[in-house]
Amino acid sequence: MTRKMAVLGDIHGNIAALDAALKEIKRHKPDTIIVTGDLVMNGPRPGEVVDRIRTLDADGALVIQGNTDIAVADFDYAAAFPWLDSVPDAQRAAAEWAHDQLTDEQHEYLRRLPAERRTWNDGTMVVVCHASPGSQTSGLPADLDPAVTVERVTRTDARVIACGHTHIADIRELGRRLIVNPGSCGYAFDGHATANWALLTFDDDGEPAAELFRPEFDAQAVADEVSSRGLAGDVYRAATIRTGRLVR
């Protein structure tokens, strides 16, 4: 029997985008929803996003923690952004603002999230990670050196790697592994200001395939809400949300 999994992540506090994705996901009636982390930082509604994700979690979704969730929950910037010698003030401001919008209970929820999950469809394993198997920060961008890509994807025996972190949609076969990165649901970098998610399906033989979906949301309204906040860097965050391209 065909099984379906919806994959989304990198919501970044954008409740309008999350709700747009969930509305479309509901129509496809997946057996499982996978959330690949980075729930709250940068967007204007972190608390609402956490509440929505907790509801999904209680209903059986597989939810993991992203690197920016560490920054928001605990201000551990070296763990969240290990590639930076110095964390810019704008990054700190966004993390601290999101932290202040959350309750203690919501902070604890972010802290308790696992870095990785595994699930099975009959004999086919799916690993759910934020950046790559075994890492919340070392991603799988399409232009990564092939030798490094192979090293990262072979840190798991899973047939399917469901991940995020790059904010750029990428569905590809690499050897026997299928990489399913739906891009960002709320803070896209690939030129589509949409609430990106992917549908992972398995045929009767357990073979996986994935399809990308890009439902629209009111990106301008979300960008305006971010701009009105007045944090350092908000003009660039708003432009990123509005255009679907990284602006900095």
CA distances (Å), 77 to each of 83, 109, 137, 228, in order? 10, 19, 12, 26
Residues 6+ apart with CB under 8 A from 219: 17, 193, 194, 241, 242, 244
Task: Give the pLDDT of residue 2.
Answer: 57
Bridge partner list, 180: 162, 171
d(CA 113, CA 200): 22
How far apart are the two ends of the chain, measured CA to CA in Å? 46
Q: In the sheet that 62-63 helps form, which strands lie side by side, from edge to edge?
A: 62-63, 32-35, 3-8, 197-202, 208-213
CA distance 238 to 85: 25
The whole-number pLDDT of residue 242 equals: 98
Q: What is the pLDDT of residue 204?
A: 86
Residue 149: strand, helix, or coil:
helix
The correct answer on CATH 3.60.21.10 for the domain covering 3-116+180-243 is: yes
Question: With contact defined as beta carbons under 8 Å apart, do 112 and 69 qualify?
Answer: no
Report the alpha-carbon distance of residue 97 to residue 231 in Å, rounded. Answer: 8
List the pLDDT tens digit at each of the 248 positions of the chain.
459 999 999 999 999 999 999 999 999 999 999 999 999 999 999 999 999 999 999 999 999 999 999 999 999 999 999 999 999 999 999 999 999 999 999 999 999 999 999 999 888 999 999 999 999 999 999 999 999 999 999 999 999 999 999 999 999 999 999 999 999 999 999 999 999 999 999 998 889 999 999 999 999 999 999 999 999 999 999 999 999 999 99
Here the tokens at position 148 are 């490094």
Instruction: Assess contact for 36 and 183: CB atoms under 8 A.
Output: no
Q: Which two tokens stand for residue 209?
A: 């395939």
pLDDT recorded at residue 178? 98
Both tokens of 233, joined, read: 């860097």
- Evaluate if pTM is beyond 0.95: yes
Q: Which residues pair with 118 in a beta bridge?
A: 127
- C-alpha 15/C-alpha 44 separation (Å) is 8
- For residue 27, what pLDDT is reported? 97
Distance CA(146)–CA(86), nearest Å, equals 28
66 token code pair:
């992203």
